[in-house]
Structure 1
């Protein structure tokens, strides 16, 4: 398995999927979306998904940029949960808590490339029982597939030989301007959610769900992200409780750059959406295009079940039993303006 400074011994495989509008670059290291280019009216292309200059830069950082996060995306309080009569202890990699699968999560592992053609690529990963503390040997698979000229689908599946927990998401950072030296706070955002989860100072959900109505978290109608920042405390890094039934693919969010007219519509089959306006990037990190990153260079829209759900029986369950298949569908539809 790779460590913090290595992409592993296996040479990463990079695959490009092309349509009339999209050029998606995908990589087996972390089953990662490296870049997403949209074709402009003049024939030029603009990358709207944050990309680093080299694969080694992904291994050296800790932002899960463009990768599949797991075995459990987001946070688990005190890096533990109860499984029947015992406590399962996980890798603690954010203070006392567990984040995005632990110190060597799925974003830091070399996946196998098991199938590819002009429209799709499939990556697979097998992790042993006890990896990062999780019970059960887990087999995960991710397929990226073009959907006509304007869409890209990410289908994630997993199975386990023991009762375990699974919550897999995709962690792209979007900036529809294509300029990652600019803040993504100037985007218009819409999220189909009537409630969100307030959090403590460690970003662990507090008891209960809060209505978005009459708060800075109300994105039921398109709103300029920057104008909402003053009312949300330390910034946006919160789970939104999506409307509609879990397990059904449905559109849940729309992001738009008013200046260029570029847009992104996100659909998911999951129950929650973590909206994170980045605030941790530093100018010594550069994008693939050579620009120093703005602290808020991108917006992450991470569909998933709720944070800390293994410890919250009132939240959608992340539990996976032997013989069951975990499945999460994510789709993006893009507009070039």
Structure 2
């Protein structure tokens, strides 16, 4: 996702996602080194897998360690770095783009030939809906997400610290120093992780070493779509409501952006220039039997939907 134009309270369109003016930006050495995954479709497994390995049905699989001692976002050549078949179209809901990819058995160390279809729909009622589906011929872990960085001020503010965020989650997954879950689901109440009521991103971020980069356990994680986040940007009046079929959401505040990348319109992307809301199953689920399973079996079809609904407060 390279651009997303949304009107502010005055009706003026603005581009609310971080990225580059042309494809060369996504291929530059600076971008490859920094690796922020701007706008990317993430797989085969979004987020981290501890020590780059997991055991499934009695067999241990080894993956690339591309994030310190751990595996991140599908490996050295994850779904963000492959060529997808693209097919524009339309549906009753709105204009669509259908992306299809076949991930071969053994690709990046994962088992099974995995066929993935992702449909982006720009709906008539100002929402972006992303529908994921996948099938496999061998049991394999799958965790698909979108890694867009949002700044609802559309570049009017250099960071997102004034954005007000609500996350309908009473618990989050506690992580160790390498951002791997310990297995504990801790209550957010009385902590800087409590976004059950709206708080500015910058209000308590100093209390979180390194900034927010954690998975929240969504309260209403039942069948069908349920609320995952609400964001309001006071300057522009823009709002974004996120709903999903997934049990969790990774709220990330652009902590690793360091000013080394110059994006659209010559804007330098410094720390906290954008935030991500990556709807997902929990990090390291293949190694955490108490977490909701990410294993897809032959004969099953993975289906997942996330919707970003846009509006304004005047």
- Alignment TM class, shorter chain as reference: over 0.9
Alignment of 1:320-335 (within 5 A): 320-335=296-311
Alignment of 1:107-186 (within 5 A): 107-117=80-90, 119-179=95-155, 182-186=158-162
TM-score normalised by length of structure 2:
0.93
Q: Verify: 1:281 aligned to 2:257, yes or no.
A: yes
| Structure-2 change in CA distance of 1:237 and 1:42 (3 Å) | closer
Match of 2:246 in 1: 270
| Structure-2 change in CA distance of 1:192 and 1:137 (3 Å) | same
RMSD: 1.5
CA distance in 1, matches of 2:108, 2:230: 34
Unaligned runs of 5+ in 1: 1-32
Shift of 1:207: 2.8
CA distance in 1, matches of 2:27, 2:170: 37
Which of 57, 62, 66 lines up with 1:93 in the alignment? 66
CA distance in 2, matches of 1:326, 1:150: 26
CA distance in 1, matches of 2:210, 2:144: 26
Task: Name the stretch that deviates more: 39-48 or 55-64.
Answer: 39-48
CA distance in 2, matches of 1:70, 1:170: 9
Q: Tell me how many residue pairs correspond in the alignment.
A: 305
TM-score normalised by length of structure 1:
0.87
| Structure-2 change in CA distance of 1:296 and 1:121 (3 Å) | same
For the 8 Å contact 2:210–2:255, the answer to whether it is kept is: no
| Structure-2 change in CA distance of 1:247 and 1:93 (3 Å) | farther
CA distance in 1, matches of 2:123, 2:53: 39
CA distance in 2, matches of 1:289, 1:296: 18
Shift of 1:40: 4.2
CA distance in 1, matches of 2:215, 2:75: 19
Task: Name the stretch that deviates more: 53-62 or 258-267.
Answer: 53-62
CA distance in 1, matches of 2:254, 2:158: 12
Which stretches of structure 1, 4 residues or longer, exceed 6 Å deviation after superposition?
Answer: none
Shift of 1:39: 2.8
Give the secondary structure class of the aligned counterpart of 2:6.
strand
Task: Name the stretch that deviates more: 196-205 or 283-292.
Answer: 283-292
Deviations 1:104-134 (A, max 9, x none): 0001111001342461110101110000000
Unaligned runs of 5+ in 2: none
| Structure-2 change in CA distance of 1:194 and 1:40 (3 Å) | closer
Shift of 1:233: 2.2
Deviations 1:255-301 (A, max 9, x none): 11112211100000000100000122232311212111121110000
| Structure-2 change in CA distance of 1:153 and 1:227 (3 Å) | same
Q: Verify: 1:318 aligned to 2:291, yes or no.
A: no
Match of 1:49 in 2: 17
